[in-house]
Structure 1
Amino acid sequence: MRRPGRLLAEGVALCVAVVVAFPLYWMVLGAFRPAGEIGSTAPRPWTSSPTLDSFRRVFGQQEFGRYFANSVVVAVSVVIASAFIAFLAAVAVTRFRFRFRTTLLVMFLVAQMVPVEALTIPMFFLMRDLGQLNTLGSLILPHIAFSLPFAIWMLRGFVKAVPESLEEAAYLDGASRARFLWRILFPLVLPGLVATSVFSFISAWNDFLFAKSFIVSDTSQSTLPMALLVFYKPDDPDWGGVMAASTVMTIPVLVFFVLVQRRLVSGLGGAVKD
Structure 2
Amino acid sequence: MMAKKVAANAVALVVALFFAFPTYWMVTSALKPRVDMLTSGYDLVPFSVTGANFATAWNKAGFLDSLANSLLVTLSAVLAALVVGLLAAVALSRMRFRGRKGFVMVMLVAQMAPFEALLIPIFLMMRDLDLLDRLPVLTLVYFAVTLPFCAWTLRGFVNGIPLELEEAAMVDGCGRWGAFRRVTLPLLGPGLVATSVFAFVTAWNEFLYALSLVNDQAKQTLPVWLSSFQSQFGTDWGGAMAASALFTLPVLVFFLIVQRKMVTGVTAGAVKG
Structure 2-normalised TM-score? Answer: 0.90
Q: Matches of 1:199 and 1:266 in 2, distance apart?
A: 20
The CA distance in 2 between the partners of 1:138 and 1:41, in whole Å, is 45
Task: Give yes or no for the alignment of 1:238 onto 2:241.
Answer: no
Alpha carbons 2:146, 2:199 under 8 Å: kept: yes
1:21 deviates by 0.7
Distance apart, 1:163 and its partner CA: 2.7
Alignment-derived partner of residue 89 in structure 2: 90
RMSD: 2.1
Q: Tell me how far apart the structure 1 counterparts of residues 190 and 220 of structure 2 sit (CA, whole Å).
A: 32
- How far is the alpha carbon of 1:141 from its aligned partner? 1.2
1:101 corresponding residue in structure 2: 100
> d(CA) in 2 for partners of 1:171 and 1:15?
50
Output one character per residue of 1:73-114: Cα deviation in whole Å (capped at 9) or x when no partner.
112112211110011000111111111110111111111111
The CA deviation at 1:263 is 4.6
Please state if 1:154 is matched with 2:153.
yes
2:20 corresponding residue in structure 1: 21
- In the TM superposition, what is the alpha-carbon distance from 1:182 to its structure 2 partner? 2.9
- Conservation of the 8 A alpha-carbon contact between 1:227 and 1:245: no
The yes-or-no answer on 1:197 pairing with 2:196 is yes
Q: Write the distance in 2 (CA, Å) between the matches of 1:167 and 1:16.
A: 42
Q: Report how many residues are paired.
A: 266
**Matched ranges for 1:60-139 at <5 A:** 60-139=59-138
Q: In 1, Cα distance between the equivalents of 2:55 and 2:39?
A: 21
Q: State the Cα distance separating 1:161 from its structure 2 match.
A: 2.6
**2:162 maps to which residue?**
163
Q: What amino acid does structure 2 have at the position aligned with 1:101?
A: R
**Residue in 2 that maps onto 1:6:** 5
| 1:235 counterpart letter in structure 2 | F
Cα separation, 2, equivalents of 1:267 and 1:238: 44
Partner residue in 1 for 2:248: 250
What is the TM-score with the length of structure 1 in the denominator?
Answer: 0.89
In 1, Cα distance between equivalents of 2:170 and 2:139: 37
Distance in 1 of aligned mates of 2:47 and 2:193: 41
1-structure distance, mates of 2:6, 2:164: 45
Please state how far the C-alpha of 1:167 moved relative to its aligned partner: 2.7
Contact 1:71/1:205 (CA < 8 Å) preserved in 2? yes
Q: In the alignment, residue 77 of structure 2 is paired with which amino acid?
A: V
Q: Which runs of 5+ in 2 are unaligned?
A: 267-273
Letter in 2 for 1:241: G
Distance 2:258 2:68 in 1: 21
Q: 1:260 aligns with which of 258, 261, 272?
A: 258
Shift of 1:226: 1.6
Task: Render the CA deviation track for 1:103-135: whole Å, top value 9, x for unaligned.
Answer: 111111111111121122222223334433211
Cα distance in structure 1, aligned partners of 2:71 and 2:174: 37
* Unaligned runs of at least 5 residues, structure 1: 269-274
Shift of 1:231: 1.1
The alignment-based identity, stated in percent, is 45
- CA-CA distance at 1:235 after TM superposition: 3.1
Report if aligned partners of 1:195, 1:267 keep a CA contact under 8 Å in 2: no
Distance in 1 separating the partners of 2:231 and 2:127: 29
What is the alpha-carbon distance in structure 2 between the residues aligned to residue 267 and residue 23 of structure 1? 33
Q: Structure 2: which amino acid aligns with 1:148?
A: L
User: Structure 1 CA distance, aligned partners of 2:252 and 2:196?
Assistant: 14
Deviations 1:198-241 (A, max 9, x none): 0011111111112111112x111111112212211143111111
Distance in 1 (alpha carbons) for counterparts of 2:263 and 2:40: 42
Q: Is the 8 A contact 2:146 2:203 kept in 1?
A: no
Tell me the alpha carbon deviations over residues 30-55 of structure 1, each in whole angstroms, 9 at most, x when there is no partner.
11111111111222222211111111
